[in-house]
Every structure is written in structure tokens, then in C-alpha cells.
């Protein structure tokens, strides 16, 4: 029997993750077994357990294989040093959404994580990670908005936490709707217009951005 090489093992792992993506998207995570994934990949159940300790471990590996754009759209350092934090937030969101709209693997994994997964004990770690990322993102947005109002010597028309949460919900709501049936509307174009409307309501239109809703 030929000895398996590291490259062989990596290829098997990749094929298992590819198979998991396809089946999770088609059936949902709960209705897909490790045996189903092994069969789809043309591998054995032993191969599954060589690479992953359980379905939660495999799911986490699938998520880690892609960079989730919205989780990394804006850094705290960028907001702290920007001449206009609102423009940084807006441009970072639009860039992240463009990455999602244009990369099938990214939106497929996000579609699975958003619409094809049920929270079960073996996926609780991923749920906790997502909650932590949401909290960090909300804190960054709030910080950026606070600095933007300070630079404009203006008071926010609503509490900062509410303003930041509203912006986060707006973006995630648009994305979740688009992920229900990707391509049914232009994600970035729609986000650009709705962000302009929302930021105008907060009296925080980016200084260098034209009014794109006219």
C-alpha cells in the first residue's frame, strides 16, 4: 500500500470540507451526518475522524477556511486615526459586502452559518464566537460614531449605542435577506443607498460622499 503523504492528507481534508459545504447548503447542518460528508467526498468515516473530532470541529474548520469580511471590515486603529471615521465605517462595510457578493465560497459559507444551521451543543463554540464578534463590532462602530460627533462638535440625535446598533442591524439585515436568495438584488448598490439614508438621519453623512439617494 502506498504511503500517504502530507499533501494527500491535505487534499483529503479539503475535499471533506468542500463536501460539507455542499451538503450543509443543500440539507442544513443538522440533517447532514459525518457519514454523508464522507460519502460525498468519496472518503471513509475513518478519514473524517482522522481530521475532525466531531461535526462541530468540522463546521468550525469550514468557517475558518474563509475570511468573514464583516468581522474584519474596520479596525479600531483605523477609526482612531481617521480624519472622518464615518467614511471609514461606511467604506469598510461596502468593501466587505462587495467581497461577499463577488466570492461564491464566502457567501455560501455565510448562507450556511445564517440560514442552514441550528444551534446544538456541538456548535455552541461557534455561536459564542459569533456573539463575541458581534459585540466587538458594535463597540467599534459606537466608538467611531462617538469620535465622528466629537470631530463635528455635534451631539448625536439618539443615544450612541442605539445609533451603532441600528447601523449594525441595517447591514446584517440586508445581508441576511440577500443570502436567502443571492443575486435577487444588488447587495452593494442597495447597501450604499440605505447607508446614506441612515447616516443622513444621524446627521453624519461622510464629508467626502455625495448624496447617492437623489
pLDDT value for 117: 85
Distance CA 191, CA 193 (A): 5
pLDDT value for 50: 94
Residue 116: other Cβ atoms inside 10 A = 20
Distance CA 47, CA 69 (A): 31
pLDDT value for 206: 62
pLDDT value for 86: 93
pLDDT value for 121: 74
Segments of the chain with pLDDT less than 50: 1-2, 209-214
The pTM assigned to this predicted structure is 0.83
pLDDT value for 100: 93
* Type and span of the H or E element at 143: helix 124-152
CA nearest to 177, candidates 110, 127, 132: 110
Amino acid at each position: 500500500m502506498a504511503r500517504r503523504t502530507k499533501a494527500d492528507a491535505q487534499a483529503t481534508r479539503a475535499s471533506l470540507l468542500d463536501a460539507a459545504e455542499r451538503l450543509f447548503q443543500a440539507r442544513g447542518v443538522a440533517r447532514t451526518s459525518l457519514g454523508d460528508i464522507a460519502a460525498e467526498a468519496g472518503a471513509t468515516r475513518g478519514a473524517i475522524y482522522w481530521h475532525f473530532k466531531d461535526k462541530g470541529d468540522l463546521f468550525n474548520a469550514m468557517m475558518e477556511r474563509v475570511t468573514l469580511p464583516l468581522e474584519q471590515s474596520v479596525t479600531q486603529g483605523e477609526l482612531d486615526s481617521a480624519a472622518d471615521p464615518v467614511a471609514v465605517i461606511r467604506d469598510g462595510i461596502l468593501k466587505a459586502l462587495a467581497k461577499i457578493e463577488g466570492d461564491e465560497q464566502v457567501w455560501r459559507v455565510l448562507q450556511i452559518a445564517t440560514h442552514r444551521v441550528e444551534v446544538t451543543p456541538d456548535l455552541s463554540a461557534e455561536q459564542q464566537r459569533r456573539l463575541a464578534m458581534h459585540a466587538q463590532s458594535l463597540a467599534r462602530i459606537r466608538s467611531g460614531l462617538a469620535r465622528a460627533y466629537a470631530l463635528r462638535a455635534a451631539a448625536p440625535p439618539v443615544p450612541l449605542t442605539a445609533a451603532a446598533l441600528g447601523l449594525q442591524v441595517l447591514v446584517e439585515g440586508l445581508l441576511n435577506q440577500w443570502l436567502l436568495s443571492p443575486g435577487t438584488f444588488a447587495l452593494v448598490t442597495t447597501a450604499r443607498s440605505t447607508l446614506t439614508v441612515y447616516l443622513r438621519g444621524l446627521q453624519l453623512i461622510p464629508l467626502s460622499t455625495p448624496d447617492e439617494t437623489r
